[in-house]
Structure formats: C-alpha cells, structure tokens
Amino acid sequence: MIGSLMSTSIAEEVLAELTFNQDGLVPAIAQQFDNGEVLMMAWMNREAIAATLSEGQVVYWSRSRGKLWRKGESSGQVQALKEFRWDCDSDTLLLQVDQTGLACHTGRRNCFFRAVRNGEIQDIANVEIDPDDLYDRK
C-alpha cells in the first residue's frame, strides 16, 4: 500500500497534472495489481484523489449521492492502493489495487460481467454473494 509513503506535496503535484471534466471529475479504472483483472470504473474528484493518496485506501466520488465514497465502507470490500497511474492526456486514472472480496455491487468479482460473444449478449460471471448479504441493508 502506498498511502503511508505519499507526501502532501506529491499529491499536490499529481493533482496539478490532472485534467478534470466540467464537473470536476476524472474517470478512474480499478485493476487488480497482481493479475491485471479490470475490476470497475468510477469517478474521482480532487478530494477523493487526495484522500486516496494519503490514506492508501481508494476513495471515489459518488455522483448519485453527491459525496465521497470510501470503497468498502458498507460492504467491507475495500481496495488497498498499490500504485496510482494516469494516462498520456492526464484525463483518466488507472488504480492498481488489492481488492478485498468483490468489486461489484451486484455481488460479482468485477463490474464487467456482460459481454457480446458469438453474436449474443451474455452474462460471463456469476453472482458470488447476494447483494442483500453484501451490504448493510435493512
């Protein structure tokens, strides 16, 4: 995990290099660091990036809730940051993470479980945990 190694000045340098959209957001792709599995895509704002870099646990911006969302805060399925990358245009992030449990709110390992194969739309991953069991829902 890199969080404890990240100084505030490095985080400020990273933020200065990034290009945010009109809503102050940048897309972030989470990838399992040791096997390359693409887990999910979410949005980050400046505050989420700064928190992620300082804490070492991934923090996103929830557009639907209008607030910071610490991955795993209600499910326990956290993402420990291993490496923070950005692309050549500085407008997309790649987060190398160590995913605890599942990444998808549908109870699947990753969010990319729909595919077109052999001319048909298919689910290519099964639900591993019922979403009602995954979250604190009452």
More confident residue, 73 or 15: 15
pLDDT of 117 over the 50 cut: yes
Q: Map out the domains of the chain as residue ranges.
A: 3-101
| 135: confidence class by pLDDT, cuts 50, 70, 90 | confident
Q: What is the pLDDT of residues 35-94, one digit of tens each?
A: 999 999 999 999 999 999 999 999 999 999 999 999 998 889 999 999 999 999 999 999
The pTM for the full model equals 0.89
DSSP at 57? B
- Of 92, 76, 94, 91, nearest in space to 32 by CA: 94
- Of 92, 97, 93, 91, nearest in space to 110 by CA: 97
Q: Is the four-CA dihedral 49, 51, 57, 61 of positive or negative sign?
A: negative
User: 3-101: what CATH class?
Assistant: alpha beta
Is 112 in contact with 38 (CB distance < 8 Å)? Answer: yes
The string of DSSP codes covering 58-96 is: -EEEETTTTEEEETTTTTS--EEEEEEEE-TTS--EEEE
